[in-house]
Each structure stands twice: as C-alpha cells, then as structure tokens.
C-alpha cells in the first residue's frame, strides 16, 4: 500500500483521465496484446491549419502514448495532391510542437508508401479482388444504388486478371486521361454498407504532388491508403472520429486480403464548439474571402489563431482533458475553454494597468509636476514574481465605465461627490464633472486624500477600486477586443438555405486605438500574457511595431457586476 502511494507514476496513473479508449488500451496492455506494445498516430491531411478539434485528437493520441510508454507517430495523409501543400506541413508541425508534443523520428507520409500501395493493389488484382473500371464518375454513382436499394455491377467488373494488370500498369504509365479509369475493389455491390460497394482504390490524377513531384499520375484513395499506412507503421490502436466507423470493415477487408498486420480502429466523437466553425471548408472560406485576417486571426478556432489570441498551450491541453472522450455527439460551451485559459493565466500572467476607454481625471489638489512611484506587486498571489513601480501624477486616465453621472446604489465606482480608491494609490473624490457642448462627460476634477496611500480611510468605508494610468507616463497602445465569431451556436447548420457567412458576428472584433497602458508594458514581448487588472488578459500582437504596441484581448476576467447589471 505505502509503496503505491509513494510511487508517483502510479499516483498520476490514478489521476489520469479515463475514457473508453484509454480503458481499452489499458486492458490490451495488461493482457499483453501486441506484445505489450502501444503505437498510436496523428494523421492530418496537409491541406489546412490545425484547429482545436484536432487538438482533441492530438492530446488523445500523443497523450495516451506518453502515459503508457508507447509511441505516437505523426503521419501526413497526403494522398490528394490537388489539395495539399508544404506550407501546411510546416504549420502543422509547428502547431504540434507549440502544443507540447514531439514525435522524434516518427514522422511519416502516406506518399512514402505509394510504391508499396501500388504493389498491394497489383496483389489484389492478381487475386481477382480488384478491377479497372472504365465507367465515368457519374456512371459509377448511378450504379452504386442508394441507401435502401442495392447497387449493380459495372460492366467492366469481370475483366480478366491479365487485362486488369495490364490496364492498371498503363494507368500508372500515364496512358489515360484524368477520370478515364479507376481501380476498384471487387467486394459486393449489394452490401448494406455503402463503403463496401466496390469502392474506388485508385484514381488518375495528372497532378504535381508536393513530395513525389510528377512521379505518379495515379493516386490511392484515402480508404486504400489509410489502413495500410497504419499497418506498415504497426499502429496498434488506430484512433479516429465517428464518421469513419463505417469504413472500418473496408480497412479490415483490405488488411485481411493482403494478409498484413492488423491495427484496430476505435472511433470517438469529434469536438464541436459553440459559436464557431470547425470544418476545413468553412475555415478555408473565411480566410479566402477575407472575413478574417488569416488562419491566425485571433477569432479563429485554429491553433495559430488561439496562440495569437494568447491562449496558452497548457490551457488547450487542460481543455482537451476536461471535455473527455466519448462517442456521443457533443457540443462544448466556449466557457469551458475560457475557464481553462483563465485558470492558466491567472496563475502565470503578470499584472499591469491599462485603460481602454479613457476618461481624463485631474487631481486639483495634487501638485503639478510631482511624480510619485507607487509600489505594487507584479502578482498579488505570487510575491516571488517581484514588484513593479507605477508612476502617479496630477493628471490621470480612468476607465469611462468606472464613472457614472447618476449611479445606482450598488455601483461602487466613481460618481459626482463619490469616493473611490485608485488601485495601489490614493482615495479620490469627484468634485466636478466637465462636459462638452454635446453634454458628454470629458473630464473629472477630483481631490485626493493624502492619508490613504496604503492605508484605510478615516471614518468611512470606500468599497470601490479602479485602475488608472498617469497621463504623462502613459503608453499609447491599440487594443483589440474580441467576441464570438458567429451569432449562432452552430453556423451553417440551422434553418434552410442560410449561408454560414451571413451568421458571422459583425461585432466580433472591436479595435480601440486610443488606449493607455502603464509604462512597464513598453517591454511587452509578442505573445506573452498580461492581466490588465479588472479587465482581462491581454498579449502583444504581432501587428505591433516600433511606433505602436497592439494588444489582443485573450479573455475577460469574470465580471459579476456585468452579470448583475
């Protein structure tokens, strides 16, 4: 017993998340299946950027391998040259590393297996299990039948092995035009599972492949490449999303016909997050049609977008752990992700003050030209992070929202004749409100209580505390505030005919160009998170330059006042 408790490995194992896949793997390992070997893989197609949905799969595959002492391969499923690019390969690898995972030398490409796949196709032809079909795509579709009616055999289905071998070789040699012929598996046109109705194995594509160049003009379909790729790599547990469950019998069929190592496939439910989109097609469209400023737009659910937004990799890993892995279609609320981000950032982010909607305040009883350096912790709960000095002077900016002309009783901030504490500074009282011709409040004249620096006020209670920035020392910055990208929980899947583009939230990005931050923020490096006290977490954006710093709002602080209102 005591040994168990003292063994950190066992302790963590007990605390590790359990789900049906991890349970299966644990059982397999316990029963010494696959000689106690565990190999998983993350198999992205290099045709776009990774998003938070991929992160779920990544954390599962790499996570379980790490937990159980197995390996997780990175394999690019690059069987469709017309959609894939090297740009995406590099981006995917960078995202994976950023997320905190490493695959060592286990980096593979389905395209590396093209020759083997071709040989296996020949083997199936020789065994009478595959044939070259001259039907057009349209004709194949016609003969496939429907969900409730069986399909019918292609007139080319009974070609001789010799003819098939010859034709397939000539397909490879480039004798035929795109679409002229395909190689199909000979299974069963009446199979209730559509995937088994003589699926296409190879198509002719005179296209340049990002890795194999012009070596091939026939390319295997995903279904003829994926299972065998797993087999070649001796993957023990082939984890994928639910929609591939119907393909499992086909993969198993190929593996069995070929007599090669048989990985087992397990399917889990893909991640759905509210008020955003996860489909690559939609993500591509948002970028291509400039509805966002790129794959790394901070509003995008892509890993590059979230990174730019300031989401820590750890928060994403925590999120993936928290949502679990199951088989029921699930919609996760953004608040779960945001909570993970807050939890992480609250612990690590240095605090700073910044005013994003400035209102000028003049402290009429504070000497002109005087500057005090006020002492404040960098993190109130973590003294070891050190302290910072904040310049204070006669003219400051406060947040417009922290002043109300006619405040309700529960409003603890500033109002005419009211008092409030300046964070880490004095208590001030609003004596005069200056308005412009339009009647808008443009400036406040206040007095300060000299005895309240680091001390409680005498004879009264002042509950409110507001943040501020000294005008003379303020750093002018731009702040970008973000809201959900879409107005509806499930864009593009709602009522008839509504384009998901029309469901974009026009107010998803708000750019505030006239913001002021405490001078220490001048040293902010791109991507590092700060908490702007009382507002939220922010990080410097890559659009920053020598002239102006730009900050992205990562996530707001919880705001029970906002709720109360």
Q: Which is catalytic among the residues 45, 67, 85, 169?
A: 45
Q: What are phi and psi of 53, to 5 degrees?
A: -70, -40
- Asked whether 129 and 185 are in contact (CB, 8 A), the reply is yes
Helix axes 20-30, 52-67, angle to 10 degrees: 20
Please provide the DSSP assignment of 29-81 as one string.
HHTTGGGG--EEEE---SSS--BHHHHHHHHHHHHHHHHTT-EEEEEE----T
In the complex, least distance from residue 17 CB atom to RNA, rounded to whole angstroms: 8
Cβ closest to RNA, residue 194 vs residue 293: 194
Is 56 annotated as catalytic? no
Cβ within 8 Å of residue 142, ≥6 positions away: none
Cβ closest to RNA, residue 381 vs residue 458: 381
DSSP 136: -
CA dist 249 and 358 (Å) reads 64
Cβ within 8 Å of residue 496, ≥6 positions away: none
Cβ closest to RNA, residue 37 vs residue 327: 327
In the complex, least distance from residue 102 CB atom to RNA, rounded to whole angstroms: 23
Strands in 107-109's sheet, in edge-to-edge order, are 39-42, 71-76, 107-109
Task: Name the token pair of 514.
Answer: 């006239």
Q: Which is catalytic among the residues 37, 270, 282, 484?
A: 270
CA 224 to chain centre: 29
In the complex, least distance from residue 543 CB atom to RNA, rounded to whole angstroms: 25
In the complex, least distance from residue 490 CB atom to RNA, rounded to whole angstroms: 10
First-to-last CA distance in the chain? Answer: 54
* Residues paired with 427 in a beta bridge: 421, 449
Q: Which of 358, 350, 556 is nearest to 470 (CA)?
A: 358
CA dist 66 and 69 (Å) reads 5
List the alpha helices (DSSP H) in 133-211: 137-143, 161-172
Q: What are phi and psi of 237, to 5 degrees?
A: -125, 105
Cβ closest to RNA, residue 141 vs residue 548: 141
In the complex, least distance from residue 196 CB atom to RNA, rounded to whole angstroms: 9
Cβ closest to RNA, residue 297 vs residue 320: 320
CA 259 to chain centre: 39
Cβ closest to RNA, residue 242 vs residue 476: 242
In the complex, least distance from residue 415 CB atom to RNA, rounded to whole angstroms: 10
Is 563 annotated as catalytic? no
How deeply is 490 buried, as exposed, middle or buried, from its count of CB atoms within 10 A (0-12, 13-18, 19+)? Answer: middle
Task: Name the token pair of 371.
Answer: 């500057």
Cβ closest to RNA, residue 321 vs residue 543: 321
Is 280 annotated as catalytic? yes
In the complex, least distance from residue 438 CB atom to RNA, rounded to whole angstroms: 26
In the complex, least distance from residue 84 CB atom to RNA, rounded to whole angstroms: 8
Q: Which is catalytic among the residues 83, 144, 211, 280?
A: 280
Cβ closest to RNA, residue 544 vs residue 556: 556
Q: Which of 39, 57, 42, 553 is nearest to 311 (CA)?
A: 553
Cα Rg, the chain, nearest whole Å: 31
- Residues known to be catalytic: 45, 270, 280
């Amino acid at each position: 017993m005591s040994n168990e408790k003292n063994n950190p490995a066992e302790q963590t194992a007990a605390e590790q998340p359990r789900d049906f896949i991890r349970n299966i793997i644990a059982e397999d390992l316990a029963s010494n299946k696959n000689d106690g070997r565990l190999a998983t893989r993350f198999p992205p197609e290099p045709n776009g950027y990774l998003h938070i949905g991929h992160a779920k799969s990544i954390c599962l595959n790499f996570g379980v391998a790490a937990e159980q002492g197995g390996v997780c391969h990175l394999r690019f499923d690059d069987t469709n040259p017309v959609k894939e690019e090297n740009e995406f390969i590099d981006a995917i690898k960078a995202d994976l590393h950023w997320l905190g995972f490493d695959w060592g030398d286990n980096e593979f490409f389905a395209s590396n297996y093209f020759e083997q796949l071709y040989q296996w196709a020949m083997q199936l032809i020789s065994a009478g299990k595959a044939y070259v079909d001259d039907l057009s795509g349209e004709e194949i579709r016609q003969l496939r039948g429907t969900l409730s009616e069986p399909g019918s055999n292609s007139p080319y289905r009974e070609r001789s092995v010799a003819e098939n071998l010859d034709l397939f070789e000539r397909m490879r040699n480039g004798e035929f035009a795109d679409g002229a012929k395909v190689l199909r598996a000979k299974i069963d046109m009446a199979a209730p599972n559509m995937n088994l109705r003589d699926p296409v194995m190879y198509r002719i594509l005179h296209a340049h492949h990002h890795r194999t160049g012009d070596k091939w003009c026939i390319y295997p379909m995903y279904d003829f490449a994926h299972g065998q790729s797993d087999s070649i790599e001796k993957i023990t547990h082939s984890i994928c999303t639910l929609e591939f469950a119907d393909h499992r019998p086909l993969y198993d069929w190929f593996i069995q016909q070929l007599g090669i190592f048989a990985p087992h496939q397990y399917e889990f439910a893909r991640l759905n997050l509210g008020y955003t989109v996860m489909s690559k097609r939609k993500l591509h469209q948002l970028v291509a049609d400039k509805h966002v400023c790129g794959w790394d737009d901070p509003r995008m659910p892509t890993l590059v977008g979230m990174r730019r937004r300031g989401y820590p990799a750890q928060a994403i890993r925590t999120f993936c752990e928290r949502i679990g892995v199951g088989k029921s279609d699930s919609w996760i609320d953004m608040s779960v992700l945001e909570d993970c981000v807050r939890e992480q950032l609250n612990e690590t982010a240095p605090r700073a003050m910044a005013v994003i909607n400035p209102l000028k305040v003049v402290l009429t009883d504070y000497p002109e030209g005087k500057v005090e350096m006020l002492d404040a912790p960098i993190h109130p709960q973590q003294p070891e992070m050190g302290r910072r000095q904040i310049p204070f002077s006669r003219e400051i900016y406060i947040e417009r929202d922290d002043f109300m002309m006619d405040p309700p009783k529960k409003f603890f901030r500033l109002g005419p004749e009211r008092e409030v504490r300046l964070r880490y500074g004095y208590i001030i009282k609003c004596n005069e409100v200056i308005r412009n011709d339009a009647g808008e409040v443009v400036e406040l004249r206040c007095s300060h209580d000299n005895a309240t620096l680091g001390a409680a006020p005498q004879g009264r209670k002042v509950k409110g505390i507001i943040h501020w920035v000294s005008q003379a020392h303020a750093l002018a910055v731009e702040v970008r505030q973000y809201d959900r990208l879409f107005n509806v929980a499930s864009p593009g899947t709602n009522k008839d005919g509504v384009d998901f583009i029309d469901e974009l939230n026009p107010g998803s990005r708000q750019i505030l160009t006239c913001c002021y931050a405490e001078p220490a923020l001048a040293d902010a490096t791109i991507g590092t998170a700060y908490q702007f006290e009382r507002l939220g977490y922010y990080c410097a954006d890559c659009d920053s330059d020598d002239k102006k710093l730009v900050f992205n709002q990562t996530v707001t602080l919880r705001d029970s006042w906002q709720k109360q209102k």
